[in-house]
Each structure stands twice: as C-alpha cells, then as structure tokens.
Amino acid sequence: MLNIVDAKDPEVKESKPLIVAKNQVSSFRSVDLFVCNVFQPFVPGEVTDVSNGTGNNKPNTRKRAIFERLRNKPLVRIIHTLNNTTHGNIDLTYAAGIHTEQMLDVLKNGYEILNTKVEENTIDRSYLFQRNARRNGAVIPCNTFTPQMFIQDAEAKVIYAKLNSCCRDVTTPLYPSLAVHLHQDLEILKQAVAAIGNGTSRYAYVLNEHPGHHADARTFYGYCYLNYAAIAAQRLQAFPKYNLVGILDVDMHLSDGSHRIFEANPNVPVASIHINPEYDFPYSTRYNNFTGIGKATGTKFNYPLDPGTSWTGYKKHLEAAIQQLIVNQKVQVLVVSLGFDTLSGDPEAAPNSGLKLTPKDFHEMRQCLLNTDVPILFISEGGYNIQSVADAADEFFN
C-alpha cells in the first residue's frame, strides 16, 4: 500500500505496513518525497520529454521512472500535489529572490507571446523553430544568428531580444507547457522548504521536472531553467535556525550556476564534485580553484574529477566536501543537488569523459550524507540513462 499524503490535506490517505511516526523520522532515516501530477497519464515524446540537442534529455520520463521506484519504499512518504495550473494563474515569484524579473518574464510569457505571433503570421515560424525543437513546437534562441532584423512586430521583437539575452545555448528551449511545469516545481519546492524549515521533515526530496544547477540569476542553459537548489537555500535562510545553508552538488557537471549566484555570499557555502570541465560541459575551468569572492572567499569548494573516476576516488572527494561544509563551515542544513549522470555509461557524457559510479554506489553515498546529522533537502538534477537512474534512485533511498 502507498503512503500518500495529499499536500492540501495532511491526513494520510493510505499507509504502508511499516509507516513510521513523524517523531521517529530522524532515527529511521525516512524521507518525504514531494512530487506534482505524477499520477496523470503520460504521452511518450510529448514536448516536455524531448528538447533540442542530443535527444537524451527526457526529464518527464526520468521523473516518472524515479517515482515508480520510490513509491513503494517503506520509508518514503509521498506528498503528492495535484495541480491544474493554467497560464492565467502561473506564479514564478517564489524564484524572484534568485532570478531577475526579465528572466522570469521570458520563462513565463516568452513562448505564449512568440507562438501567438506565429499563429497571427506576424513572425515567420522558421526564425524561431529549429531542428528537433520544431516538431514539438518549441522556441529556441538563435545565439549565432539573430533574426530580429526580420521581425517587425514590436512586442515579439522585445520578448525575443530578452530570450536571446537570457538563454545561453540552443538546447534549452521554451515550449508550450514550460511555465506550467516551472510553476508546479516551485509549488512542491515551497512545500519541501517549509517542511524542512518547520521541522516536520528531516529529509525531503523534491522530484522536480527539470534540473537547475546551471541556471544563474540572469540566464538559463544546460537543460536548466530555474536554480531550485539556490532558491531553496535562500528560502531556508528565512528560518532563524538556518543562517548558514550549504549546497552540495553531486551531479556530474560543475555547479556553475549555484557558484555564480552565491560567489560573494559567505552564508551559503557551496561544494561541487564534478567531472573536470576541461573534458565536459560547461567547458570552463574558471571554478577549478575557485573559493569565493570578497567576504565569501574560502566558502566555495570544487572537486574536479578525472574521466573514469570510480566510487573509490569519488568517495574521498565526497568526504572532503562534507568535512568542509559540515565541520569547517558549520552549515545548519544541507541542500543536495542530486544528479545521477555520474553513473557509468551516461549518454550525455562527452567523448572520453564521464564517471564510473554504479547504482549500488549511491547507497553508500546516501549513508555518507545521512551521517552528517543535519536536515537535508534533496533536489533533482541530471541523469540521462533512465534505467540506470531508476536503479540508482532505488539504491539511494533503499
């Protein structure tokens, strides 16, 4: 039987035979899983599941695969939200403390405005829709060639200029239901932050649609639209007991967005364990020896790994990162950017790149994290071999 809690009604609707009481959460190491609309029918290949680029990015499939593995775990309590948001009541203001008004405007309104102009024949579709994205109706910026000289409609010209300034690549498109998905992800993030902040959850996992750790205050790219880890860290600081909030990023790729957002903030120490970006995305070694700016110098930590690193080598860096955040920086709560693309054979790894973790390694990773004995909020990041991702999530929350 499923242990499901309706987010609008705290009464447990169904319970598992081994359900634990809330005052037993810490000792039993249970986790609250916050998820939205995962019981709704899914159509393979819908726009949320295919974006421009390699074709490996399937965020909705990943989310559902993880959920299916966790839904019957004895110590996973599901807090499910049914959200029927339409564009008229989308609210992204929960992210406003991290992301600029212009960026949020593009993410909320960009697709609808541009697509309407296409339908009105005031913009030629070929200026906005490219390659894989075209068949799904997604809009991507032309960072190498801007067709604004051919766009006469004033409103479209403004929003497209904003899009070009906010998006840093051509693999993170605007698509019809993007704003709705972002709204829904922010809603469950808000619930999880409140649960950690109020002490009703010791460990919480937000099963968001898209990863977020590459997004910074002004720009989105790398499949990331909103930086949920950064938003959570800032929101947790509203609780008096959480002045120091740490971010630990265990995704395969550098946490460049989180670094840029908090590079001068000494109250949010950030540690990123990642493939050396000399070999893989985002192909910038600026942060290899980065420790922070100004008063935040000494609060940012980076552990670039050689291609082919296995759990034995990875664990040493994980323990070092935990030592820095928990012991040296004395953070009171931890936000973990939990990516599964560190798994061996991940299809998004560049040629001659990639790490060699196995699904079973994630069980030991979990033990390392829980030994910190601070509340932890887990945020979904990348992972592109869906079967391996599901296996690793199974081990991590087993």
Return the active site residues: 214
Element (DSSP H or E) covering residue 380: strand 376-380
What residues contact 292, with CB distance under 8 A and at least 6 apart? Answer: 263, 264, 266, 298, 299, 300
392: its two tokens: 């690793």
What residues contact 150, with CB distance under 8 A and at least 6 apart? Answer: 124, 127
CA distance 65 to 359: 14
**Residue with token string 């600029």:** 100
Please answer whether residues 262 and 230 qualify as being in contact, where contact means their C-beta atoms are separated by less than 8 angstroms: yes
What residues contact 116, with CB distance under 8 A and at least 6 apart? Answer: none
Closest of 80, 172, 178, 232 to residue 382, by C-alpha? 172
What residues contact 351, with CB distance under 8 A and at least 6 apart? Answer: none
Alpha helices in the chain (DSSP H): 25-28, 59-70, 101-119, 131-135, 154-166, 178-198, 228-236, 256-262, 311-322, 361-370, 386-396
